[in-house]
A and B are shown apart, each in its own frame.
Chain A
Amino acid sequence: MDNIVTIQNVKKVFNKTTALEDVSCSVCRGEIFGLLGPSGAGKTTIINILTGQIPVTAGQVKILGVSTSQLTNTQYSQMGMVLDNSGLYKRLSTYDNMFLFAQIYGVSKNKISETLEKVGLLASAKKPVGKLSKGMQKRLVLARAILHDPKLLFLDEPTSGLDPTTMGEIHKLIFSLRENGSTVFLTTHNMEEASKLCDHAALLNNGKIVEYGVPKELCRRYDMDKSIRILLKCGEELHLASTKASAGRIAELFEQNQVASIHSSEPNLESVFIKLTGRELT
C-alpha cells in the first residue's frame, strides 16, 4: 500500500520550546491512523504541520506526495478537516454553512442534503447553528469536512466532550468513510476510541513518538503479567498465571460452580501508555 502521509524526522520549536522532536511515521492509503497522547503532547502541532498551517523547524512532511510547504489548491481540495475549533457561522443555518463550502468546492446542492442526512442533521437544516447542541455542531463540522469526498480526512479530537451515543454515531461514520476509500488521520486522548477505530496508532508523549503499531498488537506486546483474573461468587478475586499449569485450577473452579467472571489481563492502550511514559492520558 502507498503512503498518503509521510512524516520524517520532524522537529518543531516554538521560540525556545521544543514541541516535536524527531517524529517519524507514515499513514497508508485507506487506513484509519490514530495519533494518541495526552493534552500538550504535540498532537495538534502535528495536525497544524500536516495541514500546512505551520512550517517544520527540521525534517520532511509530505501529504498526497507533496511537501506541506508547497500545498496547493489540488491537495487542499482532496483534504477534509475537523479541527479543534468548530469554525462554524453561528448565525447562519446548518444548510447555509454547508452551502458556502459546497459553492467553494463546486459540489452540487443535492450533495448537501445527502451529507446532512448521513450525519443525521437533515431535519435541522434550517436551524441556526448557534441553536444546535454541541454534538450536532460536531456532526456538522464533520459533514462539512466530508462534503467533497476528501481522500484524506484530518480529525482533531472529533469526539471530545460528546455523549456516548453521539460518539458512537461519529465512529460509525468514520468507519463508513474508510469503507468508501478515505484515509483518516485522527488525534485523540481517548484510548478506547483509538483501540476501536484505528488500524495503526502512534503514541505521542512530550513531542516524541514512544510507540507505533496495530493497537491490539501493542497491547499484546506489553502484556507482561500474562495473568487471568477470576472473580468468584463469594467475592474473592484470584489472579492465576496465563500458563498451562493454571488450567487444572481453572477447570476445578468451573466444576465447583464458583466462577462469577473470568478475564485475561491484556493491557489496554492506556496502560501501555502509562507503562511507557509513567503518565496518565488526561
Chain B
Amino acid sequence: MTTIMIKNHNIAAVFKKQIKDNLKNKIVFIQFILYPLFAFVFTEAVAKGQQDILNTFFVTIFGTIYAGMVPMINMASIISEEKEADTMKMLMMANVKPYQYLIAIGSSVMIFFSLGAFAFGVIGGYNGIVLLRFIIAMLCGGLSSLLLGSAIGMLSKNQMSATAIGLPIAMIISFLPMIATFNAKIESVSRFLYTQQISYILIDPNTVSISLENTLIIGSNLLFFLCVFVIAYRKNSKTN
C-alpha cells in the first residue's frame, strides 16, 4: 500500500483545474471576451467617427462595467456550482484548505480578467506607464468584485441563488457610474462606490493623478468587501 504524503501542491492543482474549466465553461469564458469586444466595436463604430465623444468613452464605460461585474459574477458562479455539485466537498475532504481553494480559483479568474483589462487598455490606445496605470486601476476594481463574488458564492446554496443575489448587486455596482455620467444626483451617491472612483481614473489615465479620495474610497470598499468575505468564509466553514 502506497503511503501518501499530501504536499502543498493543492493551490497549483486547483488552479490548473480551474483554468481548464474556465476555458470549457462558455458562460464564464464569454464574459471575459464580451465586454472588451463591445468596447472595441463601439469605439471603432461610434466614438472614432464623432468629434464630441472621446475615443476612450466606451473603454471607460465598458471597462468599469467589466471590473464591477465580471469577477463578481464569475466567482459567485464558480463557487456556488462547486457547492451544488459537491465537488468542493470532495476537495475539502482531500484536504484542500478553503484558503488554498479561494486563492487558486481567484487567481484563475484574475488571470482571465487581466487579459481583458489589457485588451481594454489597448483598445483605449494607451501604452507604457499609462497602460500600466490603467491596468492597475482595473485590477483594483476587479479584486474588490472578486472578494464580493466569493462572499456571495459562499453564502449561496446553489448557482441559481448565487445569480439571484449576485446579478442585481453587480448591476448596481457596475451601471451606477454610467448612469452618473448623465445625472449629478446619482453621482453624489455613486462616488462612494469603488466602480465610480475607478471610472474617474479610467476616463483619462494619461492626465488624471490618483487622488486621496480615489485611494480612500477604493481602499475602504476593498476593506468592506474583505470583511464581508471573512464573515462569509467563517460562516461557510461552520456549515460545511
Q: Are A89 and B5 in contact (CB under 8 A)?
A: no
Q: Are A106 and B87 in contact (CB under 8 A)?
A: no
Which residues of chain B come closer than 8 Å to A51, judged between CB atoms?
A: 93
Number of A-B residue pairs, CB cutoff 8 Å, is: 86
Chain A interface mostly: loop
Q: Given that A103-B13, A103-B16 are contacting pairs, would A77 and B5 also be in contact in the complex, using a CB cutoff of 8 Å?
A: yes
A105 interface hit (Cβ, 8 Å): yes
Kindly identify which residue among B1, B17, B95 contacts A100, using a CB–CB cutoff of 8 Å.
Answer: B17
Chain A's closest residue to B88 (CB) is A87
Q: Are A91 and B21 in contact (CB under 8 A)?
A: yes
Chain A's closest residue to B5 (CB) is A106
- A: contact size bracket: 35 or more
B48 interface hit (Cβ, 8 Å): no
A257 interface hit (Cβ, 8 Å): no
Which residues of chain B come closer than 8 Å to A243, judged between CB atoms?
A: none
Which residues of chain A come closer than 8 Å to B17, judged between CB atoms?
A: 89, 92, 96, 100
Counting chain B CB atoms within 10 Å of each CB, the highest count among A85, A87, A96, A181 belongs to A87
B162 interface hit (Cβ, 8 Å): no
Minimum CB–CB distance from B35 to chain A (whole Å) comes to 23
Which chain A residues (86-111) contact chain B, with CB distance < 8 Å?
A: 86-92, 96, 100-101, 103-107
Residues on A facing B (Cβ under 8 Å): 51-53, 72-73, 76-79, 81, 83, 85-92, 96, 100-101, 103-107, 128, 144, 148-149, 151, 180-182
Residues on B facing A (Cβ under 8 Å): 1-2, 4-7, 9-10, 12-14, 16-17, 20-21, 24-25, 85-87, 89-91, 93-96
Further contacts, 8 of them, CB under 8 A, given A81-B93, A89-B21, A182-B1: A76-B94, A86-B86, A88-B85, A92-B17, A103-B13, A106-B5, A128-B24, A144-B90
A-B contact pairs, 13 of them (CB 8 A): A77-B95, A79-B93, A87-B85, A87-B90, A91-B25, A92-B21, A100-B14, A103-B9, A103-B12, A104-B6, A104-B9, A106-B9, A149-B4
